[in-house]
Chains A and B, each alone.
Chain A
């Protein structure tokens, strides 16, 4: 069982805000999802570490990148070719 405190912490890690009044409902849903995983767990260990496919690798050959105007067009703000973001340290 997951409690509200844990839901709050995971919301923080996922960078989403959950209004306090919706917290009880989210906690119920969260636990319901975890219950589904418990059903999956009854299938046993098959799968983990035994994925059938393997990665195919590509050659180290450069291809053109995007034009900078196109890149910056997706940014909420830019300055001198950089994308502007909230200050972090």
Chain B
């Protein structure tokens, strides 16, 4: 996609126990609206904010992981506007003296080479409340406000316009999400914990800001739609208007914001209730854990994994740790079964990798490695283990899935040859494909326990012995 210029503003909730400026708990997922609020996050008169140290430290971890510069001193500012989700009439954020400047995120660029996406800044701010519209946004006659989210700590990460396609944007967000999980500062299970605004333009034309992208899968969709829209305007000779558009998730489209957002006058000024913050020395003292790129490289070298498997298995820290627990003496076999089979089965069930017992999975791998069960039976056993509370050995025993000895397979071959004379005749008439049908029947009789590679050869032998090929 040549000529596409994209920059992102990514908001991530930091997974602290309390809000940014007050000690209200952020664990409100299972509670009703307005149950986790206090005078501070409701913006009642006379209250004062007190900065959450953990939120600042989490933000510094992110800044350090992405190679940002942390100035000796930073400052909070007020951004003034009126909206029901903002009880004070202003948001405490950072403006001209943010927590961190510069830095970069490395992603795989569209050409397949590593690409550095530069960061403009990272700053800390408070999340506004949540608005609900009954009966859908268009029909509701009033807004309902829940301030539980009001004051939850966010970091906003702003990139330079270095991205050249929706795919690159998605990769950046995925890499960012993985890194935040490795840094242990972010809970991906929380609804709305990652929200993105995107600036996109075609080189030489005006740029459009897309707001309201609330999932990282949405980023690629929203950008793809918007680029197509802008390209078709240009093709028809219509100028792209500089505007703010909203992403409509259900339809995968963007629409012009109803209220024309002119260049807002937010009247930023330094937050008088919070003196400047001096945290550069804290940033310097932070020791980072192994991050996704380093772990990916280690998986390739230490375990001999393919680049794809290494990438998949380091996608989140829980998965990477699970793999390392079950890698055992055959890491390539383990990688194949975790990346290619287990993940699919978990996805299908909407379950996290944390719900799988590594000991049981290792037992399954041992059955596969020793050749006691076939790959096909392995998938069956895995499904049963995932859906129930049975040990793989017990499943194999109960269903008689152990690879069958020669006698049983020989008997099944003889039976099939007797039962399907038409297919036998077809094979002998030179239609080689008929053997696949016969092999399928043998598999059925032996419940898939025959080794498929060997079965073909044995069937061919049996058919050759049994009667003359014409």
Which residues of the other chain, B, contact A82 by a CB distance below 8 angstroms?
33-34, 132, 144-146
Given contacts A66-B38, A82-B146, A83-B147, whether A89 and B23 have CB atoms under 8 Å apart is: no
Task: Report the Cα distance A15→B277, complex, angstroms.
Answer: 31
Q: List chain A residues, Cβ under 8 A from B51.
A: 55, 57-58
B258 at the interface (CB under 8 A from A): yes
In the complex, which of the residues B35, B54, B133, B274 contacts A55, with contact meaning CB atoms closer than 8 Å? B274
> Is there an interface contact between B53 and A59, defined as CB atoms closer than 8 Å?
yes
Q: Is the CB of A65 within 8 A of B36?
A: yes
On whether the beta carbons of B34 and A58 are closer than 8 Å, the reply is no
Q: Is the CB of B34 within 8 A of A68?
A: yes
- Given the complex of chains A and B, what is the CA–CA distance between A16 and B231 in angstroms? 42
Most buried by B among A9, A53, A85: A85
CB of A13 within 8 A of CB of B37, answer: no
Binary per-residue interface labels of chain B (44-80) against chain A in the complex, 1 for a CB within 8 Å, 0 otherwise: 1000001111111000000000000000010000001
**Range class of the A interface residue count:** 20 to 34
Alpha-carbon separation in the docked complex, A87 to B139 (Å)? 10
Pick from A54, A66, A85: contact of B143, CB under 8 Å? A85
| Chain B, interface SS category | loop
Contacts of B146 in A (CB 8 A): 81-83
Query: Are A57 and B23 in touch, CB under 8 angstroms?
Result: no
Closest Cβ of chain B to A40, distance in Å, is 14
* B25 interfacial by beta-carbon distance below 8 Å: yes
The answer to the question of A61 belonging to the interface, with a C-beta cut-off of 8 Å to chain B, is: yes
Are the C-beta atoms of B145 and A60 separated by less than 8 Å? Answer: no
Our pick among A51, A59, A80, A89 for the contact of B275 (Cβ within 8 Å) is: A51
Number of interface residues of B (CB under 8 A): 53
Residues of chain A within 8 A (CB-CB) of B54 are 59-60
Contact with B along A70-87 (1 / 0, CB 8 A): 011010000111111111
User: How far does the Cβ of A81 sit from chain B's closest Cβ, in whole Å?
Assistant: 4
Q: What are the residues of chain B within 8 A of A51 when measuring CB–CB?
A: 275-276
B142 CB contact (under 8 Å) in A57, A80, A84: A84
Complex interface: chain A residues within 8 A of B97 (CB) = 49
Given the known inter-chain contacts A15-B82, A85-B84, A87-B140, please indicate yes or no for A61 contacting B18, CB distance below 8 A.
Answer: yes
Taking a contact as CB atoms under 8 Å apart, the answer to whether B24 and A62 are in contact is yes
Q: Is B267 an interface residue (CB 8 A)?
A: yes
Chain A residues with Cβ below 8 Å from B39 are 66
* A60 near B24: Cβ-Cβ < 8 Å: no
Cα–Cα, bound, A51→B97 (Å): 13
B55 engages A60 (CB within 8 Å): yes
Q: Which residues of B contact A72 (CB under 8 A)?
A: 34
- Shortest Cβ distance from B206 into chain A, in angstroms? 24
Nearest CB on B from A55, distance (A)? 5
Would A60 and B18 be within 8 Å (CB), given that A71-B42, A85-B142, A88-B83 are in contact?
Answer: yes
In the complex, what's the smallest C-beta–C-beta distance from B445 to chain A, in angstroms? 61
The docked-state distance in angstroms from the alpha carbon of A88 to that of B130 is: 12
A13-52, CB < 8 A from B? 13, 15, 49, 51
Other than the known A71-B42, A79-B144, A81-B35, what 17 A-B pairs have Cβ atoms closer than 8 Å? A54-B277, A57-B50, A58-B53, A60-B16, A62-B18, A62-B24, A62-B25, A65-B38, A66-B39, A80-B144, A82-B33, A83-B34, A84-B144, A84-B145, A85-B131, A85-B142, A86-B84
